[in-house]
Amino acid sequence: MQFLSPFQKSYAAPALMVLALFVLCPSPGLAAPPENYSKAVEEPADTNNEAGLKYTKTSLFKQEFAKAVREARDFCKKYKRENPDAKNLAIVSDIDETLLDNRGLFNHVEKFTWPEFIKWIEKAEAPNLKETASFLKWARKNGFSIFLVTGRPEKLRPYTIMNLVKNDIAYDGLYMRPDSDRKSSAIKLKTKVRKDIEDMGFKIVVNIGDQVSDLVGGYALDCEKLPNKMYFVK
Ligand SMILES: [Mg+2]
């Protein structure tokens, strides 16, 4: 999924290099991001819709997905064990290909386009990705607040909520891309949201997403990268 406008493209490379230097240096007191995503700010060469879809059917994909979610849950348990009195703990989760499964669209298009994606979102019929959905349900029962942070634009909020409700996904906050901002990178927008959440007094214990841009930028103790070779979001 590419969100870059022509304006952005001309400035994207140098800006990303500067940004990478900044985001890859975690703030004091925060755990360093795991190796597997901290280095991968560039689009992997093997990202494409058709091959990516095929990959989702492999056992490797399923193992990779399950491992990330298992590690997220284990990290939460460990954090609670080591910090029994901690309050206002939170999980941040991305939505697309993290919590909702859009293969119902990608099975029928050659590649990502915004008009097709918007039509699909308006149907609000994406199924959930069971492991992540059950992790979030478990986390909420265990006292973690759930904040969903998505690059979907605000105008799609009603359909997004409808789709989450259909899947019985409970959450405490839903942050979306402002309709007035088509240009900012996902890294910039999502990092700011996580900072805002921590400024409200929450400690983000786990941040989980299928894109590197969901995860870099700090403001989370642990980050978990889910596999996605269908598309890439900067
Ligand atoms: Mg996603």
- pLDDT band at 48; cut points 50, 70, 90: confident
What lies within 8 Å, CB to CB, of 20 at 6+ separation is 41, 216
CB distance 233 to 186 below 8 Å: yes
Distances (CA, A) of 26 to 93, 128, 202, 222, 233: 19, 31, 18, 12, 21
Distance 84 CA to ligand 1 centre (A): 31
Predicted TM-score (pTM) of this structure:
0.83
What lies within 8 Å, CB to CB, of 182 at 6+ separation is 3, 5
Is residue 3 scored above 50 in pLDDT?
no
Q: Where are the domains of the chain?
A: 6-20+32-225
Residue 102 per-residue DSSP state? -
34-48, 67-81, 147-161: least confidently modelled range? 34-48
Distance 142 CA to ligand 1 centre (A): 24
> What is the predicted pLDDT for the residue at 41?
65
Distance 85 CA to ligand 1 centre (A): 32
Residues 84-126: pLDDT tens digits?
999 999 999 999 999 999 999 999 998 888 999 999 999 999 9
Long-range contacts of 61-70 (CB under 8 A, 24+ apart): 61/227, 64/226, 64/227, 65/129, 65/131, 65/226, 65/227, 66/131, 68/208, 68/224, 68/225, 68/226, 68/227, 69/131, 69/132, 69/135, 69/208, 69/224, 69/226
> What is the predicted pLDDT for the residue at 110?
86
User: What's the mean pLDDT in 134-154?
Assistant: 98
Which CATH number fits the domain 6-20+32-225, given the four candidates 3.30.1330.60, 3.10.450.50, 3.40.1280.10, 3.40.50.1000? 3.40.50.1000
Is residue 32 scored above 80 in pLDDT?
no
> What is the predicted pLDDT for the residue at 46?
77
Distance 82 CA to ligand 1 centre (A): 30
What lies within 8 Å, CB to CB, of 14 at 6+ separation is none
- pLDDT band at 35; cut points 50, 70, 90: very low
Residues 147-193: pLDDT tens digits?
999 999 999 999 999 999 999 999 999 999 999 999 999 999 999 99
Q: Decide: helix, strand or coil at residue 104.
A: helix
